Structure 1
Amino acid sequence: MTAAAGIATLPGWRLALFGLPGLPLAALTLPLYIYLPTYYADTLGLGLGVVGGVLLAARIWDMVTDPVVGVLADAVRLPGGRRRGWMVAGLPFTIAGIWMLMSPPDGAGAAHLLVWSIVLHLGGTMMVLSQQAWTAELSDGYDERSRIVTVREVFVILGTLAAIALPVVAGGGGTAVTAAGLATLGAAIALLLPVTTTAAVIAVPEPDRPVARARGQLARLGALVANRPFRRLIGAYIANGFANGLPATLFLLYVSHVIGRPDLAGPLLFVYFAAGILAAPLWLRLAARTSKHRAWTIAMAIATAAFLPAAFLGTGDVVPFLIICIATGATLGADLALPNAMQADVIDIDRLETGQERAGLFFALWGFATKAALALGIGTAFPLIDAAGFDPAADDGGGALALTVLALVYGALPVPFKIWAILLVRRFPLTREIQSGLAEEIARRRSPAVATPPGCGPPSSRKPSCSLSVAAPRASCSRSSAS
């Protein structure tokens, strides 16, 4: 360990245990968006309208609680630490929500779905935000952050793969999700989550960082808004998230009606995520040789070029679409890991600008942006194909025009948003050299014997502290805002 870089290199076994909770947490995502709505609407007989309204209300609650939990997680130190303590505190809510939603009692209705969805979203937010903030604080090293986030995201992809396979296998091998399959997945997640979380909390140290004053966080939102790298990064992430959300929303419909092979939806999805796992080390290596933002830009460019042909495929084009799934899946690791690692670097500017540790708030806003982009994708895709006359119940999907529009929304509409994201980050100002200077300045200020630079207030000062100019190769104290 060095003063400038926090934990210089986390041993491989500790890093694996740190990322392990991402597996059961990620396994929750697919059931919430794909399995649960169908199960409650059809099997339990609530109807699509009721289920859609209930889950929309739960998602709104989820988005609203993100910044609240982020501020509290920064300001309140629970037993075990700010990050580890909040992860453990979120466990009972998450486990209870999983169990009650995936093993509903007889007579479960809309109220049951709403209450336990809210409980699950609260627990999930507490755990995910805490682990993300912990990731940003675990190391001050530019490349080590990429390594930590990449390993965590590999476990996230593994959890998604497990969620694809387990309910179908438990349900007898068919494509429909049965009560037994859903209950099996719920039980597996409920058992794995406390085991993996406990292992991470015990094995991985949490750097001792001061709590951030809740009132101070709200009073210094201006510093966050003035953080130009943060604005550019979150703008790119929203644009890229929207571009990814469109095909994610329409994947099953596209495979079923455009390609004409609904039986291959699961295997194709599996290939996509498996390619993401296999290619993840390559993106980590490329980011180390160049930079995070350049590696991410290359990944988005490849995804754009590879995905566009999907707009022009038709019935029976399984092999071309399989190639598209492999090529775009290979960029998934970069999409998941590199922006999150860049976010950790952006937080360094805020640490020096405000003198506070606000990683929880930053990742709360990050989570809000992620959910907003997904909601925007759903809110755009369905009305467009509906206006074109698409009918999922019809054998021909509503006709040639409807299928053409479905293919264009799936394969072509994401392209300009990917390009927008590329333009936002291709000259991202936080390079390896500049982040190294930020880390050195942070380490210097953390030293109790350090003298305050002329013209700069101490980190604990209530007055605005000095800002950093990221235009220089080394962090320097100035009166200009971090931009």
Structure 2
Amino acid sequence: MIFRKGTRSSGETAAGDVNTLIQDAGPPGRPLSAPTVLSFSAAALPLWALAVAVAVYLPAYFASHLGVSLGVIGVAWAVVRFLDIAVDPALGMVMDRTRTRFGRYRVWLMIGAPILMASVYALFLAPAGIGAAYLIGWLFVLYLGISIVTLAHLAWAATLATEYHQRSRVFGVVATVGVLGAVAVLMIPIAAGASGRSDAEGVQAMGWFIFWLVPISVVLVCLRTPEHIAPVREGAHLNLKDLWALLVKPDLVRLVLAQMALTLGPGWMSALYLFFFTDARGYTSEQASILLLIYVVAGIAGAPATARLAMRFGKHRTLMVTTTAYSLGLCTILFLPKASMAAGIPMMFWCGFMAAGFDLMIRAMLADVGDEVRLDQGQEQISLIYALNTLAAKIAAAFAIVLTFPLLGWLGYVAAEGATNTPAAIRSLEFTFILGPIVFVMLGGACVIGWRLDAGRHADIRRQLDERDAQYAEAPILESLTAQPAIAVLAEDGKPG
């Protein structure tokens, strides 16, 4: 077994590109190699691919190809979000207290992978004639799998990098790799259209791609990534007082509200994307997919650039800058020539570049809050913190569909294939598409005005944590399944058991 004490790094380096972010990522005193960082980031590939496919293509696939009404689709997503409310917090609490000889988050990733695979198959290759019960059941399983894999991966990332700026680097690499997964899945409908396949066949091909990407990426992460379990302060245990203190913690509440707004804004845009660009702006389905691809590809540059900006100006200031720039870029879309790829590409690249930093900054800031909570309460609560964040994101994502689809129907827009919409319905589509994202994204940036958990304050928190952790037995690190097959288990007093 390998035991090491965590030590605080005294040096901070400025990253100049993605390679710098990868090379410098890792806990203080224990830098991670580039292959380790990239291997760990692999779990983002299917998650980001799935996020794009579900948000943009799956609802439209149900409505146009399978003939499910917009009302039923909206109700199904709303019901699943209601049923799913308690799942994420419960998972978070259980994860934080999981200890096995193979680690904590590694085990949960392996549990979530088959759940995710089954739901992807059931939804992306759904038979004709499905109804609300089928959608609700399999959407619930899908979001359960997403919750497990996402929570385990995020919490694991927070324990890999414990220094303020290194977290920006690690989450920047994860976001960059995730964008590659989204780009890959967006290439599928473009390739399908070029080869004469239908839109429905393109969506089904997306499902198969994600289905096989899940086990490959999860196995890579589990085999290659070291895992650290922080010691528990003597006498610390989960109680209602600590739980309530966490739920009402001002910094956490602000980040949860910011996450909801920053998910609902782009999610609103995603839900209406195909309808807006084809019916209102005159693009073909293939052109709309190319523009969306440009939007996502921009994140390959936007994620590391946002991380570098945060290392210089702080995470909260960077978030306010990117939300404002995103909204300004989206304002220009109605003034651009219709069906013009030359005009559409720069606008979509700009918005995608800025949007890449939204989740990146929120997740890195949540890791900092998690350190403050551990200092106050004496035990790890990072999985629960990310659970509250992902719960907020999923609720907001569902409302993007729950609000927009019924609203379009009420305004007279018809989504069925071959339908002819009135000029009034098209205008309603245009203003609905534009106003929602701008309002919510600006609210998301406003949530972190006056943020005080900056690099200096966080450095003091880490110093106190390191000093306290040094009083206990050295925390166990499972190097990887390929290098070390066992891990010591910590008892509740923080000593090896």
Regarding TM over 0.5, the answer is yes
2:292 corresponds to 1:269: yes
AA paired with 1:7?
P
Match of 1:253 in 2: 275
Question: 2:56 touches 2:273 (CA, 8 Å); kept in 1?
Answer: no
2:27 corresponds to 1:7: yes
Alignment partners' CA distance in 2, 1:129 and 1:333: 19
Inter-CA distance 423–395: structure 2 relative to 1 (3 Å threshold)? same
Query: So what's the TM-score if we normalise by structure 2?
Result: 0.81
> Gaps (5+ residues) in structure 2?
10-25, 474-491
Question: 2:75 touches 2:402 (CA, 8 Å); kept in 1?
Answer: no
Question: 1:35 touches 1:177 (CA, 8 Å); kept in 2?
Answer: no
Cα distance, 1:72 vs structure 2: 1.3
Alignment partners' CA distance in 1, 2:434 and 2:125: 37
SS of 2:273's partner is helix
Deviates more, 1:6-15 or 1:343-352: 6-15
Inter-CA distance 218–125: structure 2 relative to 1 (3 Å threshold)? farther
CA deviation vs aligned residue, 1:389-430 (integer Å, no higher than 9, x gap): 33446876321x433333223223433433333333232111
Question: 2:115 touches 2:142 (CA, 8 Å); kept in 1?
Answer: yes
Match of 2:212 in 1: 191
Inter-CA distance 308–370: structure 2 relative to 1 (3 Å threshold)? same
Match of 2:229 in 1: 208
Match of 1:366 in 2: 389
Match of 1:326 in 2: 349
CA deviation vs aligned residue, 1:126-151 (integer Å, no higher than 9, x gap): 11110011111112111111111111
CA deviation vs aligned residue, 1:63-118 (integer Å, no higher than 9, x gap): 43111211111122244211111111112212222234334579876655444433
Inter-CA distance 187–261: structure 2 relative to 1 (3 Å threshold)? closer
Superposed, which structure 2 residues align to 1:23-172 within 5 Å? Answer: 23-40=45-62, 43-44=65-66, 50=72, 52-104=74-126, 112-170=134-192
Inter-CA distance 40–92: structure 2 relative to 1 (3 Å threshold)? same
Alignment partners' CA distance in 2, 1:45 and 1:404: 25
Give the aligned length. 450
Which structure's relative contact order is higher, taking Cα pairs within 8 Å and 6+ residues apart? 2
2:304 corresponds to 1:281: yes
Pick from 394, 398, 401: which aligns with 2:422?
A: 398
Question: 1:223 touches 1:350 (CA, 8 Å); kept in 2?
Answer: no
Question: 2:109 touches 2:149 (CA, 8 Å); kept in 1?
Answer: yes
> Gaps (5+ residues) in structure 1?
451-459, 462-483
Cα distance, 1:28 vs structure 2: 2.0
SS of 1:331's partner is helix
Superposed, which structure 2 residues align to 1:323-472 within 5 Å? Answer: 323-392=346-415, 397-399=421-423, 401-448=424-471
SS of 1:178's partner is helix
Q: Identity across aligned pairs (percent)?
A: 30
Inter-CA distance 430–174: structure 2 relative to 1 (3 Å threshold)? farther
Question: 1:70 touches 1:360 (CA, 8 Å); kept in 2?
Answer: yes
Alignment partners' CA distance in 2, 1:406 and 1:44: 23
Alignment partners' CA distance in 1, 2:188 and 2:453: 41
Inter-CA distance 214–114: structure 2 relative to 1 (3 Å threshold)? farther
Match of 1:479 in 2: none
AA paired with 1:136?
A
Inter-CA distance 110–237: structure 2 relative to 1 (3 Å threshold)? closer
CA deviation vs aligned residue, 1:327-384 (integer Å, no higher than 9, x gap): 1111122113111111101111111111120111111110111112223333333454
Cα distance, 1:320 vs structure 2: 3.3
Match of 1:306 in 2: 329
Cα distance, 1:438 vs structure 2: 0.7
Question: 1:223 touches 1:353 (CA, 8 Å); kept in 2?
Answer: no
SS of 1:425's partner is coil
AA paired with 1:322?
I
Inter-CA distance 205–38: structure 2 relative to 1 (3 Å threshold)? same
SS of 2:299's partner is helix
Question: 2:331 touches 2:434 (CA, 8 Å); kept in 1?
Answer: yes
Pick from 247, 260, 271: which aligns with 1:225?
A: 247
Query: So what's the TM-score if we normalise by structure 1?
Result: 0.83
Q: Cα RMSD between the aligned structures?
A: 3.1
AA paired with 2:200?
T
Deviates more, 1:90-99 or 1:312-321: 312-321
Question: 1:227 touches 1:349 (CA, 8 Å); kept in 2?
Answer: no
Cα distance, 1:25 vs structure 2: 2.4
Deviates more, 1:433-442 or 1:157-166: 157-166
CA deviation vs aligned residue, 1:41-73 (integer Å, no higher than 9, x gap): 555555555555444433433443111211111
CA deviation vs aligned residue, 1:417-450 (integer Å, no higher than 9, x gap): 3333333323211111111111111111111269
Match of 2:259 in 1: 237
Cα distance, 1:206 vs structure 2: 0.7
Alignment partners' CA distance in 1, 2:87 and 2:39: 28
Question: 2:70 touches 2:406 (CA, 8 Å); kept in 1?
Answer: no
Inter-CA distance 107–77: structure 2 relative to 1 (3 Å threshold)? farther
SS of 2:227's partner is coil
Question: 2:236 touches 2:378 (CA, 8 Å); kept in 1?
Answer: no
Match of 1:467 in 2: none
Question: 1:287 touches 1:294 (CA, 8 Å); kept in 2?
Answer: yes
Question: 2:66 touches 2:128 (CA, 8 Å); kept in 1?
Answer: no
